[in-house]
């Protein structure tokens, strides 16, 4: 009998920036908040995972007990051919360590480390999540956790406040954009990794945390009480010419609903209640829940494919668009950068292949693998790569990314972080299938844009996007808006 397949869940490059509301960061070397995919029939999700886990454990139980099948005892398997032979080796090493290591050892910690090393040997996105990591993972994908509500970024070895989340403990206490966090509960955090500092700021709801903040030349201390923080994943703004600006920070639970609410608000603000076009900002979106990304892509499409998922050369899942999308009848320009990844690439690739959007920016990250998430006993979890996904035309995203129609490279400062993509990660899955711009089937080379110097995409809210981006110092935003306005002039608003 064929065992039930676990529900596939794509992950994104790991993130470290979110305490109370920043989108995931650009630290691609750590295992962090990869996204999870839930099936489009939500009621089946838990049953599928539990069934798969039960099946996965069965061989081990059978082996251990010498199980009897169909009334007959199973025949012994030659040691060399047994998949469990190496478990004996593991046991022998464990015994030697416990008996002979210079200091006493914790058996649980050793076995835990062995499992973690085994899984992480596979590829950069597979991982064994210890209980504390599993809890953090769940809070990231749900977009809710105990914190103080600050969007942060790393600059000059310090944690800089981008903005406090509206209504959060941080905003009520008076923390402002530009403040620099120098201590948490009296401990100096300057020069520490962002993920470590963020972890210290998070905690149980109702507990207190003291933040030392440098503002201008003075240091201030804020005592905050942690609350449940909801991270908004979609921001929007009505631009000149009745253009709707929509930025998706990441795909988490509820992102599709946020997109629909943004569409309603934009139309309510627009002249005549109609948008002339949409500027979709996907820069620095690390991905997340692919079912949310699929539903969001559907809002820009009236028909056609969204993606296909393949394992060992076989298509195991396909998603297609339905009619009636909220933005299906207006021109779209999508902005991307090297940090646009995973589910974000899935959405942009669907729009590009269906000729629903002109893509502006640089080649994306290239994270085209799918992870299955399993909850394990004792509070742990398993994140296992189980498939690759492809755009509707058959373009393999893995280790290649989405190639923009118009290349615009923002100017880089000497202290800017080195660009790292999927193909640069040790142990990454190799690229396969059609690659490069030719995979789209257009045969046309992307147009190079003269970027000049411009700021990196901000993690701040859409309110900081100028109403008329034609004069913006953000060259990618400016170029995308200008291209969109040309498209708008070709047809009237609907």
List the CATH number of the domain containing 153: 2.30.42.10
The 10s digit of each residue's pLDDT in 234-276 is 999 999 999 999 999 999 999 999 999 999 999 999 999 999 9
Q: What one-character-per-residue DSSP string does 147-163 give?
A: E--EEEEEETTEEEEEE
Q: Is residue 70 part of a domain?
A: no
Count of beta carbons in the 10 Å neighbourhood of residue 60 = 12
- Nearest-angstrom CA–CA distance, 107 and 89: 16
Task: At 350, list the tokens.
Answer: 């669907």
Domain presence at residue 307: yes
Of 183, 213, 230, the domain-final residue: 230
135 catalytic per annotation: no
pTM above 0.85, yes or no: no
Active-site residue, 353 included: yes
CB-CB contact of 394 with 368 (8 Å): no
**In residues, how long is the chain?**
494
Tokens representing 91?
Answer: 């046991």
What was the pLDDT predicted at 419? 80
Among 195, 285, 353, 405, the active-site one is 353
Q: Is there a single domain that holds both residue 275 and residue 240?
A: yes
Q: Is residue 34 part of a domain?
A: yes
pLDDT at 160: 85
Are residue 333 and residue 480 in the same domain, yes or no? Answer: yes
Q: Which residues contact 367 (CB under 8 A, 6 or more apart)?
A: 10, 11, 12, 13, 125, 287, 341, 342, 345, 397, 398, 422
For 70, counting Cβ atoms within 10 Å of its Cβ (0-12 exposed, 13-18 middle, 19+ buried), the class is exposed
**How many domains, the chain?**
3
> What is the model's pLDDT at position 344?
96
Q: Give the residue numbers spanning the domain of 127.
A: 8-62+82-142
Catalytic residue among 15, 126, 276, 342: 342
Using 50 as the pLDDT threshold, list the residues of the chain that sit under it: 1-74, 437-445, 448-461, 493
Eight-state DSSP code of residue 317: E
Q: Is residue 378 part of a domain?
A: no
State the first-to-last Cα distance of the chain, in angstroms, to the nearest integer: 53
Instruction: Identify whether residues 39 and 172 lie together within a single domain.
Output: no
User: Do residues 459 and 284 lie in contact, with contact meaning Cβ atoms separated by under 8 Å?
Assistant: yes
Phi, psi of 196 (to 5 degrees): -65, -40
User: Per the residue annotation, which of 237, 249, 367, 383 is the catalytic one?
Assistant: 367
Q: Are residues 453 and 351 both part of a single domain? A: yes
pLDDT for the residue numbered 386 = 94
| Statement to judge: residues 161 and 39 lie in one domain | no
**Is 75 contained in some domain?**
no
**What does the H/E/C string look like for 158-199?**
EEEEEEECCCCHHHHHCCCCCCEEEEECCEECCCCCHHHHHH
pLDDT of amino acid 172: 94
Structure tokens at 125: 């996105």
CA distances, 119 to each of 3, 105, 128 (Å) = 21, 22, 6
pLDDT of residue 138: 80
Contact 363, 404 (CB under 8 A): yes
pLDDT score recorded for residue 156: 67
Q: Note if 276 is an active site residue.
A: no
Give per-residue burial for 275-292: e unless 16+ CB within 10 Å, then b.
bbbbbbbbbbbbbbbbbb
């Amino acid at each position: 009998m064929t065992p039930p397949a676990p529900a596939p869940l794509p992950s994104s490059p790991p993130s470290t920036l979110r305490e109370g509301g920043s989108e995931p960061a650009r630290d691609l070397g750590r295992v962090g908040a990869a996204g999870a995919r839930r099936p489009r029939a939500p009621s089946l999700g838990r049953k599928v995972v539990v069934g798969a886990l039960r099946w996965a454990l069965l061989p081990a139980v059978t082996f251990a007990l010498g199980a009897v099948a169909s009334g007959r005892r199973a025949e012994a398997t030659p040691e060399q051919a047994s998949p469990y032979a190496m478990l004996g080796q593991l046991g022998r090493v464990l015994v030697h360590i416990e008996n002979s290591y210079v200091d006493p050892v914790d058996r649980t910690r050793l076995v835990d480390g062995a499992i973690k090393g085994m899984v992480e040997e596979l590829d950069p996105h597979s991982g064994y999540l210890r209980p504390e990591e599993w809890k953090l993972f769940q809070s990231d994908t749900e977009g809710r956790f105990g914190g103080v509500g600050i969007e942060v970024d790393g600059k000059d070895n310090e944690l800089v406040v981008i903005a406090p989340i509206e209504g959060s403990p941080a905003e009520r206490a008076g923390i402002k954009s530009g403040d620099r966090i120098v201590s948490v509960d009296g401990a100096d955090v300057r020069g520490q990794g962002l993920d470590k500092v963020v972890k210290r700021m998070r905690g149980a709801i109702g507990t207190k945390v003291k933040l030392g903040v440098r503002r201008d030349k003075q240091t201030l201390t804020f005592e905050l009480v942690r609350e449940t923080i909801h991270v908004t994943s979609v921001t929007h703004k009505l631009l000149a010419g009745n253009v709707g600006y929509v930025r998706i920070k990441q795909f988490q639970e509820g992102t599709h609903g946020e997109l629909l609410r943004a569409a309603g608000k934009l139309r309510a603000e627009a002249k005549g209640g109609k948008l002339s076009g949409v500027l979709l900002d996907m820069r620095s979106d690390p991905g997340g829940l692919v079912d949310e990304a699929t539903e969001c892509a559907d809002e820009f499409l009236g028909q056609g494919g969204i993606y296909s998922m393949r394992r060992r050369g076989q298509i195991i899942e396909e998603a297609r668009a339905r009619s009636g999308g909220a933005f299906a009848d207006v021109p779209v320009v999508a902005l991307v950068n090297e940090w646009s990844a995973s589910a974000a690439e899935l959405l942009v690739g669907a729009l590009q292949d269906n000729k629903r959007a002109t893509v502006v920016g640089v080649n994306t990250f290239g994270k085209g693998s799918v992870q299955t998430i399993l909850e394990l006993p004792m509070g742990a979890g398993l994140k296992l790569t189980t498939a690759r996904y492809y755009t509707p035309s058959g373009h393999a995203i893995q280790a290649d990314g989405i190639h923009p129609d118009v290349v615009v490279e923002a100017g880089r400062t000497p202290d800017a972080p080195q660009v790292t993509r999927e193909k640069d990660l040790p142990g990454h899955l190799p690229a396969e299938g059609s690659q490069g711009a030719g995979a789209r089937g257009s045969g046309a080379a992307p147009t190079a844009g003269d970027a000049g110097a411009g700021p990196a995409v901000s993690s701040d809210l859409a309110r900081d996007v100028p109403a008329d981006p034609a004069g913006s110092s953000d060259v990618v935003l400016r170029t995308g808006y200008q291209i969109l306005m040309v498209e708008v002039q070709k047809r009237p608003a609907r």
